[in-house]
Amino acid sequence: MLSIQHIEKQFGDVQALSDVSFDVANGQIVGLIGQNGAGKSTTFHSILNFITYGGHITWQGHPLSTKDFDHIGYLPEERSLMAKLTIEQQIIYLARLKGQHAKDIRPQIDDWLAKFAVKGTRKSKISDLSKGNQQKVQLICTLIHRPDLLILDEPFSGLDPVNADLLEQAILDAKQRGAAIIFSSHNMENVTEVCDSLVMLRTGHVVLHGTLQEVRSQFDKTELFVTTPWSPDKLAQLPGVLKVIPRQPGQYRLHLADANAGRAIFQALTHGEYIEEFSQQPPTLDEIFRLKVGEADA
């Protein structure tokens, strides 16, 4: 388990992290979210000992040592491959830095290239690959030594939906074999789909922490999903409705001023008759993110 306890970091007059604490258990995926400058990369750099910090970070009950770093996979936000190397040379070079032997890594390369649908062969030069395929090669470099701790800084950035699905499956495979995984993302859909829990940072502070259900349950059920022949204009006139958002023809999401308005809206729409959809829920993670970031900007 990765345990982060009360870490602090200041750059000049800027307090980048303030009393940040959370754990990442083996076989668990934690999403680290927040606006730009919230402290996500600084948290990763603290875990990896790239910077000095206050507080305590332990891995499997002890401070991280040089030996532990052989079992960590880290994907930085800024991609950095050596353009003159071939795919095979690049993968083997980085794997050897993790204590792996070329004879063990080389037979795996073709399978990994196929797994990520890389358009190129092991002999292709990095410089000849598209930006997306270079990113996939760097992901392979991060995963091929089967790390026990996986740290991914914006791994989905720049990936199309098909390639994002390939990465998502690779993350879930790593979880299945027991890796502790933490990744940052601005895409709340990625976090919702794969994470067991999340940590939201705002200006270096933890403002939300828990499972998605625990986080959403902290907010009132002000989102109402309905299927109805009513027009958007008519729905907007219902008491307590702040906003009507069409989803599909006849399907709408109503944003309510107060969760208590739901009962009266139900009566108005149904008059006691069957209705195909009426689901009152807390805000989505995307809406919660906007709400909490908005608080910071206010």
Cβ neighbours, 10 Å, residue 141: 23
Cβ pair 60, 202 in contact under 8 A: no
Determine how β-strand 29-33 pairs with β-strand 54-59: unpaired
Quote the DSSP letter at residue 128. G
* pLDDT score for 157: 82
Q: Is 60 exceeded by the pLDDT of residue 292?
A: yes
* pLDDT score for 298: 44
- Tell me the domain boundaries of the chain: 2-216, 223-281
Average pLDDT over residues 151-160: 88
C-alpha–C-alpha distance, residues 181 and 167, integer Å: 13
CATH class, domain 2-216, is alpha beta
* pLDDT score for 174: 96
Quote the DSSP letter at residue 51. S
* pLDDT score for 79: 76
Token pair for residue 188? Answer: 């709340």
* pLDDT score for 296: 53
Average pLDDT over the chain, rounded to whole?
Answer: 93
Total-model pTM = 0.86
Cβ pair 262, 281 in contact under 8 A: no
Query: Among residues of the chain, what percentage have pLDDT more than 70?
Result: 98
Each residue's pLDDT tens digit, 4-28: 999 999 999 999 999 999 999 999 9
Average pLDDT over residues 231-255: 95
Q: For the chain, first and last CA: distance in Å?
A: 37
Token pair for residue 166? Answer: 């390939």
Each residue's pLDDT tens digit, 73-83: 999 988 789 99
* pLDDT score for 297: 52
